Amino acid sequence: MKEIIEIPIDKEDEKLIAQAEEILTDLGLDRSTALTVFYRQVVLRKGLPFEIDPIDFKQENDRGNESSK
């Protein structure tokens, strides 16, 4: 049985989501399949399946905090 989940998306992220979904479509993946692949990789690797640059992450997080003010 499939579980349906809802993920809140900030208005600022709508463009990002559209860009990502266009790439996923080009790869032959829908959002559900891409998220399943992501979760399987997280479990397999016991962490994120890619590196996060702490500087980029902090800058992105700071931008998010500024827009919520």
| Residue 1 belongs to a domain | no
| Residue 3 belongs to a domain | no
Residue 13 has pLDDT above 60, yes or no: yes
Q: How many domains does the chain have?
A: 1
User: Which residues have a Cβ under 8 Å from the Cβ of 63 and sit 6 or more positions away?
Assistant: none
| Residue 2 belongs to a domain | no
What's the average model confidence in pLDDT over 39-53?
93
Residue 58 has pLDDT above 80, yes or no: no
Percent residues over pLDDT 70 in the chain: 80
Model confidence pTM above 0.75: no
- What domain range includes position 28? 11-67
Residue 67 has pLDDT above 60, yes or no: no
| Residue 4 belongs to a domain | no
